[in-house]
């Protein structure tokens, strides 16, 4: 029983990073009704860029690396928008899907090339802290992952629900035509959505790197798949859905890792997706439609 609880809590804490990745997919889908397949790869790319801080300034504190990853994620998000969306006809449903798959592969290749395919160590924070309650423990680094993720999510929700930019973004996702007729510049909202999701992705990538202790190009594909699963389970376009689904998937996979091992674990995650697709295809929070 204790093992089970331990696995759930560790998994849920780590699941916060899945939630961030899921939010990235879901926000872009909500605003543009497009899937950005390059999102998880760009997030990992942002985390790699964070390591450049260590190149410039040896012995820089870990939080500075995280900050670098955060900023680099935003820049990468904007670049993905420019290369995969801005100049590509949005009326064709497949065009941007293919361009973002191409971008995913490109980012992957660049990472492999620059690092010679070797995993890179990622700086840790609070990895020596351990909260105990009898046998039950809370790892300090996972608490950091969770805490930072929650802060970032709160920031995002404040932005989306209480600032004009956020309301304009939601207006575009609900009624793109009417939004233009209210003087909202669609292209700008689209680009800013990519920058904001990129920032989230950069920090998510850095947190994943920190909690695993290293980054490897092998992370991008599984993270893409997991992000998409979280998005679908949460409900395409729903930010609260992505948060809940991210924590759910994190806890779920860690429990199955405990009982069935790491090699089998993802099978059950797929099974969870299957169950949702069959019984609740709209996801946990299927967003209300009403878009033209």
Partner 1 sequence: MLELKALSRHFGGVRAVDGIDLAVAGGQIFGLIGPNGSGKSTTVNVITGLLPPTSGTILFRGEDIGALPTHLRLRAGIARTFQNIRLFGQLSVWQNLWVAQNSAEDRARQGFFARWLGGQGGVREEIARLLEFSGLAHKQDELAANLAFGEQRRLELARALAARPKLLLLDEPAAGMNSEEIAQLRDRILKLRDTGITIVLVEHVMELVMGVTDRIAVLNFGQKIAEGTPAEIQAHPAVRKAYLGGEAA
Q: Which residues in this chain contact partner 1 in the complex, by CB under 8 A?
A: 162-165, 167-168, 170-171, 174-175, 177-186, 288, 290, 292
Of residues 57 and 178, the one with the C-beta less far from partner 1: 178
Contact yes or no for 249/18 (Cβ under 8 A)? yes
CB of 257 to partner 1, least distance (A): 38
Please tell me whether residue 38 adopts helix, strand or coil conformation. coil
Of residues 106 and 159, the one with the C-beta less far from partner 1: 159
Residue ranges of the alpha helices (H) in 33-163? Answer: 39-56, 62-81, 95-115, 140-162
Of residues 97 and 165, the one with the C-beta less far from partner 1: 165
CB of 165 to partner 1, least distance (A): 6
Within its chain, how far is the Cα of 183 from the centroid? 31
Angle at 242 between CA 231 and CA 249, to 5 degrees: 80
CB of 188 to partner 1, least distance (A): 9
- 120-121 and 136-139 strand pairing: unpaired
Please tell me whether residue 127 adopts helix, strand or coil conformation. coil
Distance CA 283, CA 203 (A): 25
Of residues 86 and 265, the one with the C-beta less far from partner 1: 86
Neighbours of 23 (CB within 10 A): 31
Of residues 55 and 288, the one with the C-beta less far from partner 1: 288
Of residues 185 and 260, the one with the C-beta less far from partner 1: 185
CB of 161 to partner 1, least distance (A): 9
CB of 24 to partner 1, least distance (A): 20
CB of 31 to partner 1, least distance (A): 13
DSSP 154-183: HHHHHHHHHSHHHHHHHHHHH-HHHHHTTT
């Amino acid at each position: 029983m204790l093992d089970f609880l331990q696995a759930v809590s560790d998994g849920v804490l780590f699941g916060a990073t899945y939630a961030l990745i899921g939010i990235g997919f879901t926000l872009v889908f909500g605003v543009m009704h497009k899937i950005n397949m390059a999102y998880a790869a760009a997030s990992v790319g942002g985390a790699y860029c964070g390591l450049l801080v260590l190149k410039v300034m040896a012995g820089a504190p870990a939080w500075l690396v995280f900050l670098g990853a955060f900023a680099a994620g935003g820049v990468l998000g904007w670049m993905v928008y420019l290369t995969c969306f801005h100049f590509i006809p949005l009326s064709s449903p497949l065009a941007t899907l293919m361009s973002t798959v191409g971008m995913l592969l490109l980012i992957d290749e660049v990472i492999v090339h620059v690092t010679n395919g070797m995993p890179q160590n990622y700086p840790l924070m609070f990895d020596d802290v351990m909260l105990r309650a009898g046998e039950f423990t809370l790892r300090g680094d996972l608490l950091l992952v969770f805490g930072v993720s929650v802060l970032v999510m709160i920031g995002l929700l404040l932005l989306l629900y209480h600032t004009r930019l956020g309301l304009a973004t939601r207006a575009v996702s609900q009624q793109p035509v009417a939004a233009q007729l209210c003087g909202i510049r669609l292209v700008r909202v689209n680009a800013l959505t990519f920058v904001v999701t990129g920032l989230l992705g950069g920090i998510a990538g850095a947190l994943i790197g920190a909690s695993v202790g290293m980054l490897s190009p092998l992370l991008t594909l599984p993270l893409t798949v997991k992000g998409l699963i979280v998005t679908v389970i949460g409900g395409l376009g729903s930010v609260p859905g992505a948060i809940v689904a991210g924590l759910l998937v994190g806890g779920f996979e860690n429990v199955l890792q405990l009982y069935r091992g790491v090699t089998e674990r993802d099978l059950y995650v797929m099974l969870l997706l299957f169950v949702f697709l069959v019984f609740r295809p709209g996801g946990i929070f299927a967003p209300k439609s009403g878009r033209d």
